[in-house]
Structure 1
Amino acid sequence: MNTDDAPRTGAWQHTWRLTVAAVVSVPVWLSTLALMRSRYGEPGHWVLVGDPLVALACLTVLRWRRRWPLAVALTVAVASGVSALATGAALLALCSVATRRRPGKIGAVVVAYVAASQLAHWIYPVQGSAETLWWVQVVVPALTAGIAVAAGMAVGARRVEVRSLRARAESAEREQSARAAQARALERNRIAREMHDVLAHRISLVAMQAGVLDHRGDLSAEENRVLVRGIADGAHQALEELREVLGVLRADAARPEPPQPSLDRVPDLVADARASGLDVRFTSTVTAAPPDGVGRTCYRIVQEALTNAAKHAPGAVVRVTIEGAAGGTLDVGVRNGPAPRGAARPPASGFGLLGLGERVAVAGGELGHRPTSDGGYLLTARLPWPDGPAHRHERGA
C-alpha cells in the first residue's frame, strides 16, 4: 500500500468504527426512552440531553484509545453506566483493550463495565426492573462484554498473524535481495576470471615479443618478421578469444557454451609460449583424462603460471610438470628461474593469482606459490582426482 494512503485509510477505519459504536447504541437509547415514557410520561432532560452529551464525550475520548487503552476503556465503561448511548462506545473500548490480549487489563475493564451497568438500573428505573432477578442483571452485561472481548481477541490474533506474515515476507525479500547480490558478485568474479584468463596470457606473450624487438638490435630481417608475425597472430588470437567470451556472456541461456580447454590442451599452450620466445620445459606423466572441471582448472593454472613467467621473468627457463592418477590427486608444478638483470618489472595486479586461488578452492584443491632461493618463483597446485572410468588422451604431449 502507498505510504501516502496509510493515514487516510487509518482515519477512515477510525471513523467507521465510531459510527458503528454510535449506531449500536441507538436502539438501546430508544428502548430506554420508550420505557421511561411508558412509566413516567416524560423521559426527563437527562435522557434527552445529558445522555447524548455523555455519549458524544465518550466517542471523542475513544480517539486516544490506542495511546492510553486502559485509561480510556475504564473511563468509557464507567460513563456507560449513566448513558445508554455510550454502550457502543464502551463495547468498542473493551474490544480495543482485548486486541492486546492482556488478561489483567481485560478483566479490570469487564468488571468496571458490569458494575456500571448495575448503576444504570438506579438512573433509569424502567418498568419491571425492580422485579428482575439480580443475577440476570449481572449475566446479561457480562455476556455482552464477553462477546466484545472475544471479538477483540480475534482481531488481535489476526493482527499478530498479519504482522508475522509481513515480517516473513520482508525477511524473504531481504534474503532474496542478498542472494541476488551474491549471485551478481559471483557472476562478476567469474566474468573477471574469464577475461583475465583469455587476455592476460595472450597479451603477455605479445608484450614479451614486442620487448624483444625493442631491446634486440642484432636480429636478422627474418627473425624480425617472425617476431612481428607472432605479435600479429597473438593479437588476433586475443581478439578471437575475447569475442568468444563476449559471445558466451551475451548468448541465450538455451545456447550451449563452446567447449572449455582441458588438460589435453596444455601441450598447445606450451607450444604457443615457446613460439613467443619463452623457454618452456614440459613434463607430464598423466595418461588418463581427468574430469572436465579438474582438467580445466589444471589448464588455467599452467596458463596463469606461463603468463606470470612471461611478464616477470622473460628469458628465464620455465619448467612445467604434471603428474597424478585417478583415485588420487593431480599435481601441477610450474617453476621459473630468476629474471635477467636489468629487466623492467611490470606492474603486478595480483588478480591472476587471486582468481586462480578461487578456481582451485572451487575444485577442492590447494594452491601454493612462493619465491625460490635462486630468485625464481614456484607455483604448485594439488587437485583431487575422483576415481572413475578413465580413458587415454587422444593427443600426445
Structure 2
Amino acid sequence: MDDFQTLARAAAKAMRAVFPETPCQRNEHLSALYDADIWLKREDLSPVRSYKLRGAFNAMRKVRGAKSFVCASAGNHAQGMAYMCREFGVPGVVFMPVTTPQQKIDKTRMFGGAFIEIRLIGDYFDDTLAEAQAFCRQSGGHFLAPFDDADVIEGQATVAAEIEAQAGIPQRIVLPVGGGGLAAGVRRYFGPDMPITFVEPAGGASLTAAVEAGAPVTLNKVDSFVDGAAVARIGAAPWEVLQTTAPGDVLTAPEDRICTTMVRMLNLEGIVLEPAGALSVDALGDIVEEIRGQRVVCITSGGNFDFERLPEVRERAQRYSGVKKYLILRLPQRPGALRDFLDTLGPEDDITRFEYLKKSARNFGSVLIGIETKDARNFKGLFERMDAAGFTYRDTTNDQILSEFLI
C-alpha cells in the first residue's frame, strides 16, 4: 500500500470522530443523460457544505503549540477552519475582505463561535492575505493555508479514500480545480493511471496556464464569479503533484454555462450547488464520448450558495441558453411607434425590462428592452420581423461592458 494512501485513510478514519463521511450517490438523471454510470461525491453535504473542512482538520491536528490559527478567506476555507477551531478548542483569527457578503461572515462566526475572531481588512483578497500573514509574524499564530500545504493536501485526499470505500475504483473522476489542494490530493491517492478530468472556471484557469507554461504563472485577471475556484495562481505544493498533467485533461467551463448547470441541478434534482461545486457536473457534456458506458465520479465540492445570487444565476443561465436577450432599440418619437414594435413580438415572447435611456435625436429615443422567450430559435423570427418593420436595434446581450452598466 502506498504511504500516501495509508496517511489519507488514517486521516479519514480520524475524521469520523468529528464528522461523518459524505455520501457518494448514483445520479439517475445524469446517468441517463450521458449514457454512463454517473456518481456524485457530495461534499456539498459536509457540516460546512464543502470539502475544506477536511484539509483544515488534518493540518490543525498535526500542529503542536500554536497560540492561534490564522487564515485569510472569504468563503469555504474560513468556515472549515472556524469549525475546527471550535472542535479543537483553540482560538482562530479569520481575515476577510471588507467586501465579504454578510452571509459568509455570519456563517463563519456561527461555526467558530467564541473561538473565532473575524477581522475585515482590505477591499481585495491580496490586501487581506498580506494583513493575515503580517499578523502571524507578530503574534506567533499558525497560518493555515487553503491549499498550498502538504497536510492540507493529505486531508483533501480523504475524499478519494471515501470514494474508493463507497463506490470502488471508478473509471474516471471529474473534479474542480482552484488552488489545487483537492486535485493534488485525489491525484496522489489514485496515482497517475487513474483518468482524472480537472475542471476550472474560464475566468480563473490557473492550472491551464501552468500546464501551458510548464510552471505556475499568475493570471493577469480573474473573474471572481466562481469564487470557490477562481484562483490567480496554482499552489506550489499542488503543482509538484499536478505538473505531469496532460493539457487535454484540463477543461475550462464558461461562467454562464455553469449557471445553467446550477439551475438544472436545483430544479431537477433539488441539489444546491455553489458555482465551484457545479464545475464537475458542468464539464460532463464536454467529455460525453470519453465517458460513455463508464463509471464516473463527479466531486460536487461545495454548496455554500447565497440565494440572493439566484436572480443573477438564473439571468446568466437564460442568456447562455439563448432564451433571453437585451436590445437597445431606436424608437421613433411618434404616436403608435411602441405599438408597432409590440406587434413584432411572437406569442412566446415576453418583455421583462423596458427602460427609456434617452432621446438620441429630435425624433428618436433609445430604449433598453429585455425579452424572454421559451425557445431560443424564436429570436430569429423576431429579428426578421423587426428588420422588415424598419426598426434600428443592437443586440447587447453578450456585450460585457454594456451589461455591467445597463443590466
Does the TM-score normalized on the shorter chain lie above 0.5?
A: no
Higher helix share: 1
TM-score (norm 1): 0.21
TM-score (norm 2): 0.21
